[in-house]
Structure 1
Amino acid sequence: MAWLTLALAGCCEVFGVIGLKQVSMRKGLRAWLLLIAAFAGSFSLLSYSMQYIAMGTAYAVWTGIGTVGGALVGMFLYGEPKEWRRVVFIAMILSAAVGLKLIS
């Protein structure tokens, strides 16, 4: 259950990044609500999962999910470059997070 909670925390982190981008583009109430709700949910779920998963592992996986998700959202929704080197490094981050799960 803790790993599922950690994955959900990472997904909330991605929505928080989307909210951050929306706030920087539009500054509307809806964007602010998404930003605040997503980051609040992310930190709450991360805090819960850290009760059962080692802090270093939980934080690394959480930031990995957020980093990979943010990069993919940037590439697919906001037109950021999709060059092969970027995809390779995203895959390396993802594989490191999976590796941490496997040895924990």
Structure 2
Amino acid sequence: MAWVYLIVASLGEIFGVMTINIYNQKKSFTWLFIMVITFGFGFYFLSLAMREIQLGTAYAIWTGLGAAGAVLMGILFFKESAGWKRMLFLTCIIAGAVGLKVLD
């Protein structure tokens, strides 16, 4: 169950970063509130995951999936570039997260 919590925590990180971008564009209290709630949601599930998964592994996978998800969100919703170099290094981040899961 800890791995499910870690994936859910990563979604909180991804959507939290996305709401930062939206907040920077709209500057409304509503988006600030959504940002705080979303990050809080992610941190809560990260804490649940860390009850069973080692600190280093949990944090590395959480940040790796969060970074990869944020890049994908940027490409899909904010018209950021999707060049081959960017995709290559995104693949490296995902491979590192998978490697940590396999070794744990």
Paired position in structure 2 for 1:100: 100
- Would you say how many aligned residue pairs link Structure 1 and Structure 2? 104
Using structure 2 for the length normalisation, give the TM-score.
0.96
- Give 1:28 deviation, angstroms: 1.4
| Per-residue CA distance 1:13-62 (angstroms, 9 max, x = gap) | 11101110011100113311220111000111111111100000000000
Return 83-92 or 25-34, whichever deviates more.
Answer: 25-34
Q: Which amino acid aligns with 2:51?
A: Q
Q: Distance in 1 between matches of 2:64 and 2:53?
A: 15
Residues 1-104 of structure 1: matches in 2 within 5 Å? 1-104=1-104
Using structure 1 for the length normalisation, give the TM-score.
0.96
* Runs of 4+ with deviation above 4 angstroms: none
Sequence identity percentage: 37
* Structure 1 residue runs without a partner (length 5+): none
